[in-house]
């Protein structure tokens, strides 16, 4: 089941919220757990057994870590065992087929016989709930949070359906207090409903409309320069509005249940460096990688060379986390290389108010190159796209590409980038220097008035279009 479906909007969500608010406060974790299992099991019931096993194992491991005492030798053994099992499960389902395929290619290149293929179905959301389980074990080991004594609270945290299959990556220590006590009000529910509708519009009206522009461009065997640029710009906007739209919906649903999740995006394409980009893009993942990978590797505590090495390795592994394909590994290495270069040269700029057009353009060029690697099916296809991007052919859009796209899609792409630029500029306006603050308030009210008809328009579009899943489901 997905948020952008009529089954979710008109069946699951109303029934779930009714059950949730009719349940006494002390039993609402049970409602969350049962509702989330129905939500997840709608796709495949059998993967609920894997999900239950991961949840139970990490709950018991957390209890044993706390019983041994934070940072003790016994606790260290349990945290290693807990994380080892989690990574083994993730590796089996996500990377075993990739490993066998890579080994087969190596054997064939040496003239040897391949081992045969290995096809394993990837459970949706496994990367997200495994990462949340790992952060829980590490936080208990470090003494940053106590292990939960109520199994249902921990199970509800892991299963919490708004963020279960595509993030944001939550941490138990941030939500533990909210599971014990959280507020519910009309204002909070209304804020959540508005946030959900905003994300729904971003996903259905913008991201889904841009999808054919990107898909057809990356499917071309011999793309031209104009094809690659239009397709890459379309994919960059599609990915942003798709994933940030999902995050908005997840945050909105959390608010409707009384939870306040972390923000996941903050105008990422208005970054002046790759370092700033990763402080604004998929914030919950970048902070997770910082706290549970970069810092344990040594962070910036050693020499500059070691710091750069740690940055590179963190992004390399972050790229591999996104998918079992060499394109993701190279994409992670690309970002890791630029993070290391910015640290070494002191050019990791983060601007709060000032806009530097050249730095913005250069940073976005690096991001676009990365997205070509990220979207391409293999490194050969990525090389073809990048070659076409930077070797102008002067042919304009190819006939095959023009036949597959529409004027509405191109107009939506233009609107998407106008919204991105306007949002970035708006964020950097110095409020203290604006004499006309009421106008800003009036614009907010106008946006709120427009949101409801746009939401209903999105529902109509959803009913008319074919199924379009969230891009991050595959990770």
pLDDT at 455 over 70: yes
Give the mean model confidence (pLDDT) for residues 426-439: 59
Q: Is the pLDDT assigned to residue 352 strictly greater than 80?
A: no
Average pLDDT over residues 54-59: 96
Mean pLDDT across 18-41: 94
Q: What is the mean pLDDT of the chain?
A: 89
Peptide bond into 301 cis (omega under 30): no
Confidence tier at 120 by pLDDT (50, 70, 90): confident
Q: The tokens of 179 are what?
A: 């599971």
222: left (phi over 0), alpha (psi -120 to 50) or beta: beta
Q: What is the pLDDT of residue 274?
A: 95
- The dihedral sign for the CA sequence 383, 386, 392, 397: positive
Give 27's pLDDT tier (boundaries 50, 70, 90).
very high
CA distances from 157 to 91, 154, 229, 327, 398 (A): 23, 5, 42, 32, 50
| Mean pLDDT of all residues in 451-474 | 76
pLDDT band at 442 (very low <50, low <70, confident <90, very high): low
At residue 475, the pLDDT reads 57
280-316 pLDDT per residue, tens: 999 999 999 999 999 999 988 889 999 999 999 999 9
Cα angle 294, 473, 138 (rounded to 5 degrees) comes to 30
Q: Tell me, letter by letter, the H, E, C secondary structure of 141-201.
A: HHCCCCCCCCHHHHHHHHHCHHHCCCCCCCCHHHHHHHHHCCCCCHHHHHHHHHHHHHHHH
CA distance 409 to 326: 30
Question: What percentage of the chain exceeds 70 in pLDDT?
Answer: 93
Q: Which residues are marked as active site?
A: 322
- Is the per-residue pLDDT at 471 higher than 70? no
CA 261 to chain centre: 14
**CA pair distance 229, 34, nearest whole angstrom:** 46
Cα 365–368–370 angle (5° rounding)? Answer: 115
Residue 432 has pLDDT above 50, yes or no: no
Could you tell me the pLDDT band of residue 434, with boundaries at 50, 70 and 90?
low
- State pLDDT tens for residues 172-219: 999 988 988 899 999 999 999 999 999 999 999 999 999 999 999 999
């Amino acid at each position: 089941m997905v948020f952008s479906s009529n089954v979710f909007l008109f069946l699951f969500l109303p029934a779930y919220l009714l059950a949730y608010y009719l349940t006494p406060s002390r039993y609402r974790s049970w409602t969350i757990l049962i509702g989330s299992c129905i939500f997840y099991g709608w796709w495949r019931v059998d993967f609920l057994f894997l999900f239950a096993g991961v949840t139970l194992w990490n709950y018991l491991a957390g209890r044993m870590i706390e019983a041994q005492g934070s940072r003790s030798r016994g606790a260290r053994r349990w945290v290693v065992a807990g994380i080892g099992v989690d990574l083994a499960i993730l590796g089996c389902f996500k990377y075993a087929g990739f490993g066998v395929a890579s080994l087969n290619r190596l054997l064939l290149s040496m003239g040897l016989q391949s081992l045969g293929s290995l096809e394993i179905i990837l459970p949706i959301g496994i990367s997200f709930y495994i990462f949340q389980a790992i952060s829980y074990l590490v936080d208990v080991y470090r003494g940053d949070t106590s292990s939960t004594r109520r199994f249902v609270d921990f199970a509800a945290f892991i299963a919490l359906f708004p963020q279960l299959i595509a993030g944001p990556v939550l941490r138990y220590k941030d939500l533990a207090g909210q599971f014990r006590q959280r507020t519910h009000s009309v204002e909070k529910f209304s804020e959540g409903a508005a946030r959900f509708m905003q994300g729904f519009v971003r996903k259905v009206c913008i991201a889904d409309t841009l999808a054919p522009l990107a898909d057809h461009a990356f499917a071309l065997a011999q793309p031209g320069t104009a094809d690659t640029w239009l397709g890459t710009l379309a994919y960059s906007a599609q990915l942003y509005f798709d994933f940030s739209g999902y995050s908005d919906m997840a945050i909105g649903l959390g608010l409707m249940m009384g939870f306040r999740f972390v923000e996941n995006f903050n105008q990422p394409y208005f970054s002046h460096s790759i370092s700033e980009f990763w402080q604004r893009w998929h914030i919950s993942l970048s902070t997770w990688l910082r706290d549970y990978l970069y810092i344990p590797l040594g962070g910036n505590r050693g020499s500059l060379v070691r710091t750069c090495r740690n940055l590179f390795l963190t992004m390399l592994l972050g790229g591999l986390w996104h998918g079992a394909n060499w394109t993701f590994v190279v994409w992670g290495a690309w970002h890791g290389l630029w993070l290391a270069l910015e640290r070494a040269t002191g050019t990791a700029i983060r601007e709060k108010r000032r806009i530097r057009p050249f730095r913005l353009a250069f940073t976005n060029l690096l991001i676009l190159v990365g997205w070509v690697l990220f979207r391409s099916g293999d490194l050969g296809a990525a090389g073809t796209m990048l070659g076409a991007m930077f070797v102008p052919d002067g042919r304009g859009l190819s006939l095959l590409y023009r036949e597959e796209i529409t004027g509405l899609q191109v107009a939506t792409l233009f609107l998407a980038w106008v919204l991105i630029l306007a949002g970035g500029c708006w964020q950097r306006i110095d409020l203290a220097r604006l004499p006309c603050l009421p106008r800003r308030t009036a614009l907010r009210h106008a946006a709120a008035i427009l949101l409801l008809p746009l939401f209903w328009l999105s529902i109509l579009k959803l009913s008319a279009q074919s199924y379009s899943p969230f891009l991050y489901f595959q990770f």
